[in-house]
């Protein structure tokens, strides 16, 4: 079992669809929270995070930090979307990291495909 695990409802992403993800932290030590970073490879476009644990995010965030206090049972769910129409297929790299005192402790990476 990994110290942190990231899962997506679907690994095939379409523009303007809601992306649903889950994070499970199994790390036995102290930590402040988790951060989710996403990169659309071969593109300068961003993913916008919409909510976490059913709390709406009012501003456009391209990097999501979730405090440990907001993670009951060391789990979190998030939603995001891609608001542009790609002309070609892109790989999308999702990386979630455990953060303790501004340092990354452990991480997990997942790749999905953005299809036009």
Q: What CATH number does the domain containing 93 carry?
A: 2.60.40.10
Give the pLDDT confidence of 7-36 residue by residue, as tens digits: 999 999 999 999 999 999 999 999 999 999
The domain containing residue 47 runs over which residues?
4-114
SS3 48: strand
Q: Tell me how many domains the chain contains.
A: 1
- Say what the pTM is: 0.91
Q: Would the pLDDT of 75 be above 90? A: yes
Tokens of 102: 């501004």
What gap in Å lies between CA 109 and CA 52, rounded to an integer?
19
- Picking from 34, 93, 18, 92, the residue whose alpha carbon sits closest to that of residue 67 is 34
The H-or-E segment that residue 56 falls in is strand 55-61
Residue 110 phi, psi (nearest 5): -140, 140
């Amino acid at each position: 079992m990994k110290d942190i695990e990231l899962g997506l409802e679907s690994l095939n992403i379409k523009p303007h669809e809601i992306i649903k993800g889950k994070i499970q932290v199994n790390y036995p030590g102290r930590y402040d929270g988790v951060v989710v970073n996403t990169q659309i490879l071969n593109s300068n476009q961003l993913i916008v995070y919409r909510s976490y644990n059913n709390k709406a995010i009012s501003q456009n965030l391209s990097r999501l930090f979730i405090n440990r206090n907001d993670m009951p049972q060391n789990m979190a769910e998030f939603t995001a979307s891609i608001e542009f129409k790609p002309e070609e297929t892109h790989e999308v790299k999702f990386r979630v990291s455990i953060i303790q005192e501004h340092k990354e402790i452990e991480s997990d990476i997942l790749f999905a495909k953005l299809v036009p």
